[in-house]
């Protein structure tokens, strides 16, 4: 494996790491329920994407309720 010939100075080390910064995710507002959601992904609250329902949230809620009843 290759090794650096010389040690990086503090300023060159900073220049080397200049592109490593984290960027915040692109958060937008859902047009259906106005809750925050990630862009280009379906809303986790109402299950819509581009105006269409792609996730049946009622079925998921019913499944969770049935599962919690079984554990009690």
pLDDT in tens, 19-58: 999 999 999 999 999 999 999 999 999 999 998 999 998 8
Task: Please give the pLDDT value at position 20.
Answer: 94
Residue 26 to residue 17: CA distance in whole angstroms? 23
What's the pLDDT band for 72 if we cut at 50, 70, 90? low
Q: Is residue 14 part of a domain?
A: no
Domain of 48, in residue numbers = 25-71
| Residue 66 located in a structural domain | yes
Confidence band (pLDDT; 50, 70, 90) for 69?
confident
* Integer Cα distance of 52 and 43 in angstroms: 11
Please give the tally of structural domains in the chain. Answer: 1
Any domain includes 52: yes
């Amino acid at each position: 494996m290759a090794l650096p010939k010389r040690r990086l100075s503090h300023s060159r080390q900073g220049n080397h790491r200049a592109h490593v910064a984290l960027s915040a995710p692109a958060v937008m507002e859902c047009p259906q329920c106005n809750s925050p959601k990630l862009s280009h992904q379906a809303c986790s609250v109402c299950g819509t994407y581009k105006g269409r329902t792609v996730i049946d949230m009622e079925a998921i809620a019913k499944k969770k309720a049935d599962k919690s009843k079984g554990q009690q």
